[in-house]
Amino acid sequence: MAEETKIANQFGVDGVDVIPILKKDDKKFIILIKQFRPPIHKWIIEFPSGYIDDSDKSIEEAGIRELKEETGYTVTKVIRTTKNGQYLNPSVTSDLDAIMIVEIDGNNPINKNPKQSLDESEEVSEVIQIEYEKLLEYCDKIIENGEVEISTQVYTFALSSLF
C-alpha cells in the first residue's frame, strides 16, 4: 500500500532536490553526496536534498540551505527551479519534490574549503565532486562495484549525457 504524505507548507511540495554544478578553474563538476538511507539499509549516492522547513521563505531558500548544510558549498546563482513538485515514486509514496539547478563558483574563497553543517538525523559521509562529462562513467563503476547504490535521479541525469 502506498504511503500518503501531507504537504505542510505554502509551496505545495514536500522537499527539494538540488543539482549543483561547480565551476572551478575552467572545468564543470557535479556535486553529489553519499548518504546512509535506513529504509534500504544502504549507502547511496544522490543529489543534496531535503524537506522544506516552515522557516523557508521559498523553494529556492530551502534548496540553498540544504546544499549548504549537506555540502558546505554556497550557491552563486540559481539556474532554474521547478514551480511544482515531481513525484519521486508514486507507486509507494505521494512525496512531491521540486528540482533546482544551481551554480557554484569554486574559485570564490567562500567555496575553497566547504564545511558541512548536518542535522543530527543526517548521515552524509562524503561530498563527491565528479567532472561533469565523467558522471555516467562514475555511476556505471559504482553500480558495477555494488557496494553503494546510485539514486534514480542521479543515474537519469547521467544518462542524459548520451544525447
In SS3 terms, 11-80 reads as CCCCEEEEEEEEEECCEEEEEEEEEEECCCCEEEEECCEEECCCCCCCHHHHHHHHHHHHHCCCCCEEEE
- If we measure between CA atoms, which residue out of 50, 42, 60, 38 comes closest to residue 116? 50
**What residues does 33 pair with on adjacent strands?**
46, 127
pLDDT at residue 9, as a whole number:
67
- If we measure between CA atoms, which residue out of 44, 42, 52, 48 comes closest to residue 68? 48
Residues contacting residue 44 through CB under 8 Å, at least 6 positions apart:
34, 35, 36, 37, 148, 149, 150, 151
pLDDT at residue 7, as a whole number:
63
pLDDT at residue 138, as a whole number:
97
Cα–Cα distance for residue pair 55/61, rounded to 1 Å? 9
Residues of the chain with pLDDT under 70: 1-9, 122-123
pTM for this one?
Answer: 0.90
SS3 category, 102: strand
pLDDT tens digits, residue range 139-163? 999 999 998 999 999 999 999 999 8
pLDDT at residue 130, as a whole number:
97
